[in-house]
Amino acid sequence: MTDPEVESLQDLLDQIAACRVCGDALPLGPRPVLQLSSTARILVASQAPGTWVHESGVPFADASGDRLRAWMGVTKDEFYDAGRIAIVPLGLCYPGRGAGGDAPPRPECAPLWRNRIMAQLRGLRLTLLVGGHAQVDRLGRAPMTERVRAFRAYLPDVVPLPHPSWRSQMWMARNPWFEADVLPVLRAAVRDALA
């Protein structure tokens, strides 16, 4: 049954698609990229699209996505099943380049859309906080590595993860506990949430 206080998913998606609020600050212009349904069990709360995702319109349609899917232990079909997995970055459009990589998510975005998006996720069981920006937004400031190392403190609802960019391979080499300790628990949590 539809909750009358929750707006229609399609209305919300249409409004997001038409958003131009920070368009003047976006080097490639507005193109919100997300995956959302009211039945999703898992939320991949990420940071912001990169250029390839901006081009394709598909979240994590790049090597970072391949790494994230491997960490989660899901296939592409499972990952892109919107009925089971939602993918929502903190900033919905590509923000441009900053010092040493992509710029942070646009600050205008989450205050506009986040609560309305979260209201749609009525079957949510597990949230993956992917990257430092997503973690700071949800949990407050802390060093990313120490937060991920303390992942058990956030279970069973939340798992903090590094961003799966190419840099994560060097980070994993320096932090072998991530593969040994975090990934098995992450995969089990993902399977539980999808079951």
Would you count residue 185 as binding ligand SF4 (CB under 6 A)?
Answer: no
- How many angstroms separate the Cα of 50 from the Cα of each of 39, 122, 139, 161, 182? 26, 28, 23, 18, 26
Would you count residue 103 as binding ligand SF4 (CB under 6 A)?
Answer: no
Which residue's CB is nearer to ligand SF4, number 22 or number 124? 22
In the bound complex, what is the minimum distance in angstroms from residue 47's beta carbon to ligand SF4? 12
Would you count residue 50 as binding ligand SF4 (CB under 6 A)?
Answer: no
Considering only the stretches 36-44, 67-75, 106-114, 141-149, report the one whose residues sit in contact with ligand SF4 under the rule CB under 6 A. 106-114
d(CA 89, CA 124): 16
Q: Out of 49, 91, 160, 162, which residue is the one contacting ligand SF4 (CB under 6 A)?
A: 91
Q: Out of 9, 12, 22, 124, which residue is the one contacting ligand SF4 (CB under 6 A)?
A: 22
Would you count residue 19 as binding ligand SF4 (CB under 6 A)?
Answer: yes
Specify the DSSP class assigned to residue 33.
-
Please list every residue from 119 through 138 that binds ligand SF4, using CB under 6 A: none
Considering only the stretches 3-11, 13-21, 38-46, 162-170, report the one whose residues sit in contact with ligand SF4 under the rule CB under 6 A. 13-21
Residue 161 neighbours by CB under 8 Å, 6+ apart:
68, 71, 128, 129, 130, 131, 148, 182, 186
Which residue's CB is nearer to ligand SF4, number 23 or number 156? 23
Kindly write down the DSSP assignment for every residue of 111-132, as one continuous string.
Answer: HHHHHHHHHH-TT--EEEEESH
Strands 126-130 and 158-161: parallel
Beta strands in the chain (DSSP E): 42-46, 85-89, 97-98, 101-102, 126-130, 158-161
Which residue's CB is nearer to ligand SF4, number 6 or number 17? 17
Q: Interface residues with ligand SF4 (CB under 6 A)?
A: 16, 19-23, 30, 32, 91-93, 106, 108-109, 112
